[in-house]
Amino acid sequence: MAGRKAGTRREPVFGVSAGPASDIRVSREDRPAPGSAGGGKSGDKSGNSTRREPAASSRPRRSNRKGRSKGRLRRFLSRSIYWGAVASLWVVIAGIAAVFWVGFHLPPIQSLEIPPRPPSVQIVGADGTALATRGEMGGVAVPLRELPPHLPLAFIAIEDRRFNYHFGFDPIGLARAAAANLANLGVAQGGSTLTQQLAKNLFLNQERTYNRKIQELVLALWLEHRYTKPQILELYLNRVYFGAGAYGVEAAAQRYFDKSARQVTLAEAAMLAGLVKSPSRLAPHRNRAAAERRAEVVLAAMVDTGAITQAQAKTALTAPAKAVRNVTGGSINYVADWIMDVINDVVGHVDQDLVVETTIEPVLQAAAERALVGELAQRGEKFRVGQGAMVAMTPEGAVVAMIGGRNYSDSQFNRAVSAKRQPGSAFKPFVYLTALERGLAPDSVREDKPISLKGWKPGNYTREYFGPVTLTQALAMSLNTVAVRLTLEVGATAVARTAYRMGIASRLDPNPSLALGTSEVSVIELVSAYAPFANGGMAIAPHAVMRVTGANGKVLYQRKPQHLGRIVDGRYVAMMNAMMRETLLSGTARKADLGAWAAAGKTGTSQDFRDAWFVAYTSHLVTGVWLGNDDSSPMRRATGSGLPVDIWRNFMKAAHQGIPVAGLPGLNGGAPVTASMHANALPGRAEDMVDQPPGLIPPERSATAMPVRAAPPARGGGTSNLDNWLVDRLFGRQ
């Protein structure tokens, strides 16, 4: 206790003389309100005591907080407006800079000139008939004053209603298009003016970039400055693309309606104006319903703009425009595309209008199309055949007809030129020709029996074998084992060389399966390679272009007679013609017989019925037919002796109407070809056993042969012709 009394603890003293503690004061606001804890009971009952003042003094503090909030909002708005103005200014500056940058990278304005109309390439047949037009084609420019008024008005109504009022760029039209696109959540309208479209067509490509769009705008402003509205409209109408290779209203009117643009009706004008939006999708010859619906939209727009009355629109709707069927919409397009692929090699870069005179005969082209397309329409589904191709040429190589597919509108891929397919047994003539040139003869005998090459067992279609048969019999019957044995005798490399010499250009794998047509070739190659059999053994080059003339009729190219030399001795040509003649008389292609006309050829069917071929010839024409599916899926037992033979026969009968009958080289009533015609006709000479099998050849790479359901021939040598029993039983199978 004593220590505690003597301690240094001091209690706070509140008062004036309290020293440092005198700074601590209790303000009136800090005092408790009446009735609160520690507040006592003093004060009047009316509540006017000074102890209520703290509540009164708190109201101004809330007002200060509201004031501060309003101040912050005002500062935020002012700053937003300020920085928004700054950002807008920079956007404007950036836009101006972009325009100047694009303008700087454009050619100098003074050097800009309206480019000449794109050149056109007119392709005509052997009889002078116009077949197709290719290139960036433009019809003859038609002055605006010569067009019916409703034609330009249709384009203005649907493409650029404010054409007569804007200066190349239409902000109102652009805003309207943007609103429509936003409302439709997609691209419903375009904002380009006719002048911008013209600038794009004249000077720019179709690339969709901001840079190109700015260039388009700059060029449109220049066009508006340089030309009058009527001049711009006239240029536009004569340059715009209408699909199907037609540039300009004149070309489009001729293409779709077979008349001049000067003569189009209101309904036709509406259809033409509607095409510009999507030329391919709205082409009337491909999608008539869509083209008519679009034309209705154009007519409605013309009514809205006052270009026509409601009555005129109603009249046009009751008689909509109808596109005419044009020859360029059919199979001739495959020919035209092929010619355009080689035209640069003939005359170089196309910078002027050209007329290309070809060897194509329109009558034969139409006959080939009817034969192929008609047969597939009737029986293609039954045999699960999706596509076909056909080439017909003279023995000298002049192509007179070409079908590259079933329907050009559906597929522009030219299967006659670009597709490579396995020829199957149609390749065997090169095996037999090699054998003849190595010393064998048509009546030389070889054994038809099973053969095995390191696990590969090529067999005949029905696995039936006939023992000793002549080469003529083996080729007519399309016996696989004999073809493979001959290839082993003469060498696969020798067979490949023979095929190359005859006209095959594709890569050939020199192995025993080559005899069965496992290396892929094109239709035009195979037909070309058969041509020397028809012309007596001379080399040919397939061709279709005879003459090319340019502006003012100047001849730029004239095909001269080509003498490429003999590639097959006449003796072997005669032998091969005699052997392949039997294929049509008594073998797999007996249905192809043309009566008085001597014809020869070979059928072919690849593994699992993926390809069906027939290539055959007279002294007048060499024609090949291929059927199959683009994805190489199997057909339903379609063989070369079936549909291809029927198509070939139907075409060749039409092609030989009125043509004087002529025989094949070596088959003009002369003596039969026998082994005595060749001094070295010794079968199986050791020196001819050149190549041995390189190894295992997968069975799936082999081709099939025809099913033969006949008794084997009597043993003891061959004959120059098939026996009667074989003639009666051997037909229509590959």
Task: Return the active site residues.
Answer: 159, 425
Q: Locate 707 and state its tokens.
A: 């099913």
Beta bridge partners of residue 602, listed in sequence order? 615
Name the β-bridge partners of 470: 445
Rounded to an integer, what distance in angstroms lies between the CA atom of residue 20 and that of residue 36? 30
Cα 513 from Cα 239, distance rounded (Å): 56
With b for 16 or more beta-carbon neighbours within 10 A and e for fewer, the 666-695 pattern comes to bbeeeeebebebbeebebeeeebeebebee
Tell me the C-alpha to C-alpha distance, in Å, between residue 550 and each of 336, 356, 555, 556, 558: 18, 9, 6, 6, 12
DSSP secondary structure, 152-195, as one string: HHHHHHHH-TTTTTSSS--HHHHHHHHHHHHHTTS-------HH
- Burial degree of 26 (CB within 10 A; 0-12, 13-18, 19+): exposed
First and final CA of the chain: distance in angstroms? 135
Rounded-to-integer distance, Cα 664 and Cα 618, Å: 6
Cα(372)–Cα(392) distance, integer angstroms: 12
108 vs 104, 219, 231, 666, 671, CA distance in Å?
A: 8, 11, 22, 72, 81
User: SS3 for 522?
Assistant: coil
Dihedral angle computed from the Cα positions of residues 228, 232, 235 and 238, in that order, rounded to the nearest 10 degrees:
-130
611 bridge partner residues? 628
Q: Tally the C-alpha atoms within 13 A of residue 75's C-alpha that lie toward its C-beta.
A: 6
